[in-house]
Chains A and B, each alone.
Chain A
Amino acid sequence: MNLIPLSHILIFSLALFGIGIYGVLTRRNIIGILISIELILNAANINLIAFSQTTSLSPETGQVFALFVIAIAAITAAVGLAIVLALYRARKTVFADEVHLLKW
């Protein structure tokens, strides 16, 4: 993969990560936050794949860990959505700023 410099790929994933962060910070809906988290994880995956193709000693290492990250993303989605359902059932809301029990 010598068509595109590694740094450009990294900047792309950085942008994706930043967008994900922005989404996590600004989305009111908890499902929206989860989606944004998927973006972040995805950005990490891109990095892993990119590095495995260029700088790592063995090319499969990055892919193996990318697989792990995908598994963790699935876990995040499953648990997060279960929490959303439970919250929705308990408080009839899915908005993060309407759930502030940790307040003073």
Chain B
Amino acid sequence: MRKAALTTVSTVAGVVLLLSLKPHTDTPTTAPPAVAAQPPSPSSAPSSSPSSSPSSSPSSSGAAAAPSPSTSHTTSAGPTGTYTGDTINTRYGPVQLAVTLSKGKITAVKALQTPSGDGRSQQIASYAVPQLTNETLQAQNAQIDTVSGATYTSDGYVQSLQSALDQAGV
């Protein structure tokens, strides 16, 4: 085997697509979930169509937005709302997903941006990630081709980063 180089990136670095918000998740203390909150939107019907419009309005100063679902209805059963993930720089171009949660369960995943996307990137870029994450991501240049992780089910795949990469590549 040829030498494999392993680069550790910070826990929330790279590809912070989604959620980290499941009530049962034993979240480490190293970082908050790196998702930016948006108000829940009734327009976020289940859809993964890359061509659908983002459900939020543009923000020009969201770079310091708190990662907590502050505008969402957080209940004891889990958060409700639409969460915009960090933009993933795949080798095909940027990919970004939005995930809609209802009481902590995923009800919709929407691709806000794909490499074939049409100028939405500027709007998307205004959604914040912690600066540290961004720096780490840039320092490591964490462009990835694929993802290894615990075996997902056929249903779990839909929410997976690998699914986003597959969509980006075709």
A and B found bound together: no
The residues of A with any CB-CB pair to B shorter than 8 Å are none
